[in-house]
């Protein structure tokens, strides 16, 4: 409302300014014209009046008999004046040589006798000197402004008197007043016309400007659908074209900026790395979805808040403060426990505006997996070295013993060699298992699936363990359906059976049993290898499939185990998109199972 009023006032004032300019120009111009016209009119009018009075004076002068004047014959002169007075309609005065008024058309005889001497009248003075006298002055006799013309009356001896004609300037003044009235009325009319024409012209000038103001307001609101209308080819038309071009450029720029913002937003939201942007005061400008997930916050809730208020992490807050203070980049590693558990690499860099620090950009990279793999690799190398070292130390020890003379000891040398052979076998097993594992872990490992009878395969594996089974007098039952067919990598599934049955024998009691059976669901096939062995303590169950994890290291080694069997099984089953597991009760036995999708 206020804006509207304001707008109205501005338009009004501009319009009035325009009308006022026209008015002022016309006033000044006509004022000059009126001033000069008035001055010339007055001068011309006076000149004409004077000229007519002179010619009338000359006419009367020629009629005055010089004898009558010389004799100062008033009666004669009065007759003459009486005769001429109505003809020329002005005051006629005849003055003697001494300045004495002889006759005055406006006075009676008695009054004339009382009139004062006119010798001092300027026009009379001049006439008595022999030339024509003219004067304009206020007449004390008639109480009005008069024009006086005095002619010398001469005979052969010189000037004998003066004829003076006087005309009130009243009629000239009236003529002048009438002329002035016409001039001023003209001026008034012209000014009125100037106001009307000015307001029409101003409206026409302002209309396109108003249109431009309306359209520019729309531009300012971001609506570029309307365009300025080019009504004329003048400067205003040119301005409309220039503003349209400017609006088009701005619209294109806005579109470009929007597209770029969209691009950045897409990049930010699809980034695995978390991104935080804070301003120079440490308030959050934006965060991406990765950060939302790591810190359990939402962009809309944290935007505009101080970092520490929104995300309660002192380490990152300190990094931000340091970067904003020093202006250099920073990089550090931090561990989070809540809301996610992990290790993160934080890279912070200042955002500059010219040479001033305007904010800080943080990129947070989740390196939990990298660190876990590093630890795993380290542990793995330590484990492998340890596993290799034990048989190697033994082999080295026994070889040294043999070399130092035990070779000649016919009674024991073969035992020593057998021990060396055992350790060499263990080394061989270990290296084979390591090779299998690394082969399975290699990403490019492919499985070649084909249909085969699972019962048959289990039977074949059991055949291979006949001696071991007999040794411990273990009963084994293959309760898988005879015609159970499955589509999988035959060799690898054979290794799964081998490892499970091998363990079931190794960690079984004398006279124990092993049972192999299956449970079929709509999508999966679960194969269980159950034994009546030592079982696994509950605390070890979650770790049993990890590399080199053994419940009883000494016993496993003694039994020729490498600690890699179950982890090989796990890899094989996972390659088939299946999973493995164990249920066990310490002292009673275990049920190792693997599930394969059909
Ligand atoms: P190993 O070469 O020692 O057999 P595995 O990876 O096959 O290595 O097994 C890891 C550990 O799991 C074994 O050392 C043993 O402690 C335990 N284990 C495996 N199978 C059984 C089982 N059937 N009964 C009891 N313990 C078992």
CA of 384 to the centre of ligand 1 (A): 17
**Is 236 a domain residue?**
no
pTM flag (> 0.85): no
The vertex-170 CA angle with 166 and 175, nearest 5°, equals 120
As a whole number, mean pLDDT of residues 320-341 equals: 91
d(CA 95, CA 127): 10
What pLDDT does residue 5 have?
40
CA gap 385, 378 in Å, rounded: 11
Which of 535, 566, 582 to probe ligand 1 with, by most ligand atoms within 8 A of CB?
566
pLDDT of residue 179: 83
Residue-level pLDDT at 175: 82
Structure tokens at 511: 């006279």
How confident is the model over 538-552, as pLDDT tens digits?
999 999 999 999 998
Does 259 map to a domain? Answer: no
Atom of ligand 1 nearest to the CA of 433: 2
State how many domains the chain has: 5
Q: Return the minimum-mean-pLDDT range out of 91-105, 204-218, 483-497, 507-521.
A: 204-218
Residue at which a domain ends, from 327, 344, 362: 362
For the ranges 21-25, 341-345, 371-375, the lowest mean pLDDT is seen at 21-25
Tell me if 508 CB under 6 Å of ligand 1: no
- Domain final position from 362, 392, 417: 362
SS3 at position 64: coil
The sign one gets for the Cα dihedral 396, 401, 403, 409 is negative
CA of 517 to the centre of ligand 1 (A): 20
Per-residue pLDDT, 108 = 87
Looking at the structure, tell me whether residues 145 and 181 fall in a common domain.
Answer: no
Show Cβ contacts of residue 234 under 8 Å, excluding neighbours closer than 6 positions.
none
The residue nearest atom 21 of ligand 1, judged by CA position, is: 503
pLDDT tens for residues 183-233?
Answer: 888 888 888 888 888 888 888 888 888 888 888 999 888 888 888 887 777
| Tokens, residue 58 | 């000359």
CATH code where residue 407 lies:
1.10.287.130
Is residue 528 in contact with ligand 1, taking CB distance under 6 Å? no
* Number of neighbouring beta carbons within 10 Å of residue 555: 13
Which strand (E) or helix (H) includes residue 500?
A: helix 490-506
Residue 13 binned pLDDT confidence (cut-offs 50, 70, 90):
low
Q: Mark which of 319, 343, 362 sits at the end of a domain.
A: 362
Write down the pLDDT at residue 11: 53
> What is residue 6's predicted lDDT score, i.e. its pLDDT?
46
Cα-Cα end-to-end distance for the chain: 76
CA distance 240 to 232: 9
Residue 553 confidence (pLDDT) above 90:
no
The answer to whether residue 472 scores a pLDDT higher than 80 is: yes
3-state SS string over 280-345? CCCEEEEECHHHHHHHCCCHHHHCCCEHHHHCCCHHHHHHHHHHHHHCCCEEEEEEECCCCCEEEE
Residues 6+ apart with CB under 8 A from 284: 276, 277, 278, 302, 303, 304, 305, 306, 307, 310, 311
Q: How far is the CA of 452 from the centre of ligand 1 (A)?
A: 28
In which domain, by residue range, is 37 found? 2-42+175-217
Residue 224 placed within a domain: no
For residue 158, how many other CB atoms are within 10 A of its CB?
Answer: 10
Residue 500, ligand 1, Cβ within 6 A: no
Stretch 446-458: mean pLDDT: 93
Of 111 and 582, more confident: 582
Could you tell me which residue, 488 or 169, shows the higher pLDDT? 488
Same domain flag for 396 and 295: no
Please check whether residue 265 lies inside any domain of the structure: no
Atom of ligand 1 nearest to the CA of 551: 16
Model pLDDT for residues 34-89, shown as the tens digit of each residue? 888 888 888 888 898 899 999 999 999 888 888 888 877 778 888 889 999 998 88
- Residue 505 lies inside a defined structural domain of this protein: yes
* Helix, strand, coil in percent for the chain, rounding step 5: 55, 20, 25
Do 454 and 417 lie in one domain? The reply is no
Higher pLDDT, 236 or 428: 428
CB of 512 closer than 6 angstroms to any ligand 1 atom? no
Q: What per-residue confidence (pLDDT) applies to 462?
A: 97
Pick from 69-78, 107-116, 466-475, 476-485: least confident:
69-78
Answer whether 327's CB lies under 8 Å from 313's CB.
Answer: no
DSSP string of 79-91, one letter each residue: HHHHHHHHHHTSE
Q: With beta carbons less than 8 A apart as the criterion, state whether 391 and 385 touch.
A: no
- Identify whether residues 478 and 569 lie together within a single domain: yes
Whether residue 242 lies inside any domain: the answer is no
Same domain, 460 and 590: yes
- CB distance 96 to ligand 1 below 6 Å: no
CATH of the domain at 504: 3.30.565.10
Spatial CB neighbours of 219, under 8 Å, sequence gap ≥ 6: 243, 247, 250
Beta bridge partners of 350: 360
Q: Is the pLDDT of residue 173 over 50?
A: yes
Q: Label residue 443 by pLDDT band (50, 70, 90).
A: low
- 202 part of a folded domain: yes
The answer on pLDDT for 2 being more than 60 is no
pLDDT at residue number 10: 52
Q: Give the pLDDT score at 187.
A: 81
The three-state secondary structure class of 139 is strand
Residues 111 and 143 occupy one common structural domain: yes
DSSP state of 411: T
432 CB-near residues (< 8 Å, 6+ apart) = none
Here the CATH number for the domain that contains residue 84 is 3.30.450.20
Domain co-membership, 550 together with 507: yes
Categorize the per-residue pLDDT at 12 as very low, low, confident or very high, splitting at 50, 70 and 90: low
pLDDT at 544: 95
Pair 236, 330: CB distance under 8 Å:
no
If you average pLDDT over residues 95-123, what whole number do you get? Answer: 88
- 149 and 184 together in one domain: no
> Residues 57, 105: contact at Cβ < 8 Å?
no
Query: Tokens for 509?
Result: 């009691």
Ligand 1 atom nearest 556 alpha carbon: 3
307 close to 278: Cβ distance less than 8 angstroms: yes
**1 has a pLDDT exceeding 50:** no
Q: What is the average pLDDT value for the chain, to the nearest integer?
A: 89
511 belongs to a structural domain:
yes
146 and 19 within one domain:
no
Q: Given this model, what pLDDT does residue 231 score? A: 75
| Overall average pLDDT of the 382-391 stretch | 90
Nearest CA to ligand 1 atom 19: 503
312 phi and psi angles, rounded to 5 deg? -85, 75
Q: How confident is the model at residue 106 (pLDDT cuts 50, 70, 90)?
A: confident
> Which residue owns the Cα nearest ligand 1 atom 2?
561
Looking at the fold, whether 435 and 320 belong to one and the same domain comes out as no
DSSP assignment, residue 540?
Answer: G
CB 165 within 8 A of CB 148: yes
Q: Is 551 in the pocket of ligand 1 (CB under 6 A)?
A: yes
C-alpha to C-alpha distance for 92 and 150, rounded to whole angstroms: 10
169: confidence class by pLDDT, cuts 50, 70, 90: confident
Identify whether residues 308 and 339 lie together within a single domain.
Answer: yes
Q: Percentage of residues in the chain with pLDDT exceeding 70? A: 97
User: What does 3-38 look like in DSSP terms, one character per residue?
Assistant: HHHHHHHHHHHHHHHHHHHHHHHHHHHHHHHHHHHH
Angstrom distance (rounded) from CA 197 to CA 14: 16
Q: Are residues 452 and 589 in the same domain?
A: yes
The best mutation among 507, 513, 555 to test binding of ligand 1, ranked by most ligand atoms within 8 Å of the C-beta, falls on: 507
Whether the per-residue pLDDT at 8 is higher than 80: the answer is no
* Nearest atom (ligand 1) to Cα of 544: 12
Q: Could you tell which of 428, 440, 504, 556 is best to mutate to test the pocket of ligand 1, judged by most ligand atoms within 8 Å of the CB? A: 556
Confidence of residue 333 (pLDDT cuts 50, 70, 90): very high
- Rounded CA-CA distance 296/298 in Å is 7
pLDDT at 596: 94
Q: Ligand 1 center to residue 280 CA distance, Å?
A: 60
């Amino acid at each position: 409302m206020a804006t509207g009023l304001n707008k109205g006032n501005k338009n009004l004032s501009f319009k009035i300014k325009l009308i006022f300019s026209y008015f002022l120009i016309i006033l000044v111009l006509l004022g000059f014209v009126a001033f000069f016209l008035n001055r010339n009119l007055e001068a011309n009018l006076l000149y004409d009046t004077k000229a007519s009075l002179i010619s009338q004076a000359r006419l009367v002068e020629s009629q005055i008999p010089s004898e009558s004047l010389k004799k100062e014959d008033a009666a004669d002169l009065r007759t003459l004046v009486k005769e001429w007075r109505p003809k020329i309609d002005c005051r006629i005065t005849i003055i003697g040589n001494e300045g004495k008024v002889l006759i005055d058309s406006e006075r009676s005889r008695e009054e004339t006798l009382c009139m004062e001497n006119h010798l001092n009248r300027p026009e009379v003075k001049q006439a008595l000197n022999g030339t024509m006298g003219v004067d304009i002055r206020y007449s004390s006799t008639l109480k009005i402004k008069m024009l006086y013309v005095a002619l010398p009356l001469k005979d052969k001896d010189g000037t004998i008197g003066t004829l003076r004609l006087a005309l009130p300037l009243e009629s000239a003044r009236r003529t002048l007043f009438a002329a002035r009235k016409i001039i001023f009325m003209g001026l008034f009319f012209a000014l009125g016309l100037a106001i009307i024409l000015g307001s029409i012209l101003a409206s026409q000038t302002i209309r396109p400007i108003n249109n431009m103001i309306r359209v520019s307001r729309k531009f300012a609101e971001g609506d570029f659908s309307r365009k300025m209308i080019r009504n004329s080819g003048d400067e205003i038309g040119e301005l409309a074209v220039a503003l349209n071009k400017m609006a088009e450029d701005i619209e294109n720029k806005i579109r470009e900026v929007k597209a770029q913002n969209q691009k950045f937003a897409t990049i930010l939201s699809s980034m695995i790395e978390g991104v935080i942007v804070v301003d120079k005061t440490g308030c959050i400008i934006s965060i991406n979805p990765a950060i939302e997930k790591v810190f359990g916050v939402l962009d809309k809730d944290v935007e505009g808040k101080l970092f520490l208020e929104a995300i309660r992490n002192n380490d990152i807050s300190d990094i931000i403060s340091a970067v904003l203070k020093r202006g250099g980049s920073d990089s550090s590693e931090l561990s989070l426990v809540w809301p996610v558990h992990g290790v993160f690499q934080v890279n912070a860099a200042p955002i500059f505006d010219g040479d001033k620090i305007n904010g800080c950009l943080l990129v947070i990279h989740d390196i939990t997996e990298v660190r876990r793999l590093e630890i795993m690799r380290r542990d793995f190398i330590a484990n492998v070295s340890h596993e290799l070292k034990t048989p190697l130390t033994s082999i080295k020890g026994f070889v040294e013993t043999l070399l130092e003379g035990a070779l000649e000891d016919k009674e024991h040398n073969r035992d020593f060699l057998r021990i060396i052979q055992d350790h060499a076998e263990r080394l061989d097993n270990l290296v084979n298992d390591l090779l299998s594992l690394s082969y399975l872990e290699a990403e490019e490992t492919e499985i070649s699936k084909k249909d085969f009878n699972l019962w048959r395969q289990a039977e074949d594996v059991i055949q291979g363990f006949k001696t071991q089974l007999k040794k411990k007098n273990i009963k084994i039952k293959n309760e898988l359906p005879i015609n159970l067919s499955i589509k999988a990598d035959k060799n690898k599934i054979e290794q799964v059976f081998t490892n499970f049955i091998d363990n079931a024998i190794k960690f079984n009691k004398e006279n124990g049993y092993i049972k192999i059976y299956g449970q079929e669901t709509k999508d999966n096939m679960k194969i269980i290898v159950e034994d009546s062995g030592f079982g696994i303590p509950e605390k070890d169950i979650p770790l049993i499939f990890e590399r080199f994890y053994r419940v009883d290291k000494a016993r496993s080694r003694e039994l020729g185990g490498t600690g890699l069997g179950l982890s090989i099984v796990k890899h094989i089953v996972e390659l088939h998109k299946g999973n493995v597991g164990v249920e066990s009760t310490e002292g009673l036995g275990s049920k190792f199972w693997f599930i394969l999708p059909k």
